[in-house]
Structure 1
Amino acid sequence: MDWLGIGVLVIGVAFFALVILLIKPLTKLSGILSSLQTTTDKLPQTVEDVSTQTKEVLTTGNDTLNQLNDQIRQLSPVLHIIGDAGNATRKLSSSIVGATDDIKATTAEGRSLTKGQNLEGLYGVLTLGYYIFQKSRTR
């Protein structure tokens, strides 16, 4: 029985020494856990603030997009008019080019003359003028 008492006493002293060694780290752990508690207590309010600001930003973005859509809807007829004018101009220039090509094809002398003298541009302008003159005379 004496040996049992001595063994229990040795185990008690070992636990006492272990407790003394662990006091400082356990105190630091306690401080860390209390500061963590302070941080986590503020977390719901912080998350709510962030979500509120995010909601405001998304609402503002949606409003801006709606205004932009309205302005584009208002500009749409103008853009269609510009597109129609471009198509009309393209058709006119195509018909002028066609008429110029027809006149060039029927005039064999003009072709050889313009090629020899590098007067293709001048010939095109003269042909365009002639075509416009003929069109204005027929009206």
Structure 2
Amino acid sequence: MDWLGIGVLVIGVAFLALVVLLIKPLMKLSGVLGSLQKTTDKLPQNVDDISSQATEVLTTGNDTLNQLNTQIRELSPILHIIGDAGNATRKLSSSMVDATEEMKASTAGGSEITKGRNLEGLYGALTLGYYIFQKQRKN
């Protein structure tokens, strides 16, 4: 029994020496855990702030998109009118080109004369005038 008591006493002294040896690192660890606790206590508030800011940004973005959609809806008829005017102009110019080509084909003998004397522009203007005159005559 004496040996058992001496063994327990030696083990107790060893644990006491271990505790004395580990006091400084354990105190530093408790400081680290304390600062970690302070940081994690602030975390829910920080997450709430970030999520509220993200919500504000998304709301502002949605409002901006709604305003943009409204403005585009308001401009849509104007854009359709411009498209219709462009189509009408294209049809008119293509019919004028067709008439000019038809006139050139019907007067094929005069094409060498106009090219030789650089009168293509004048010839085109006269053809256009003739075409407009014929259209007015029909109406």
Question: Match for residue 84 of structure 1?
Answer: 84
Q: What is aligned with 1:50?
A: 50
The aligned runs of 1:25-104 (5 Å cut-off) are: 25-104=25-104
Question: Unaligned 5+ residue runs, structure 1?
Answer: none
After superposition, give the CA deviation of every residue in 1:99-124 in whole Å (9 maximum; x if it has no partner). Answer: 11111111212333345556544433
CA distance in 2, matches of 1:5, 1:114: 133
Deviation at 1:80? 0.8
Where relative contact order (Cα < 8 A, 6+ residues apart) is larger, the structure is 2
TM-score by length of 1: 0.83
State which drifts further: 29-38 or 52-61.
52-61
Question: What is residue 13 of structure 1 aligned with on the other side?
Answer: 13
CA distance in 2, matches of 1:9, 1:75: 94
Q: How does 1:116-135 map to 2 (within 5 A)?
A: 116=116, 119-135=119-135
Q: Number of residue pairs matched?
A: 139
Specify every segment of 5 or more residues in structure 2 that has no aligned partner in the other structure, as ranges: none
The residue aligned with 1:22 is: 22
Q: TM-score, normalised to structure 2's length?
A: 0.83
Shift of residue 90, structure 1, vs aligned partner:
0.6
Distance 1:29 1:101 in 2: 96
Amino acid at match of 2:48: E
Q: CA RMSD in A?
A: 2.2
The aligned amino acid for 1:78 is I
Which moves more between the two structures, 104-113 or 92-101? Answer: 104-113
Structure 1 residue 13: Cα displacement: 3.0
The 3 A distance-change label for structure 1 pair 22 and 126 is farther
Q: Aligned residues: percent identity? A: 78
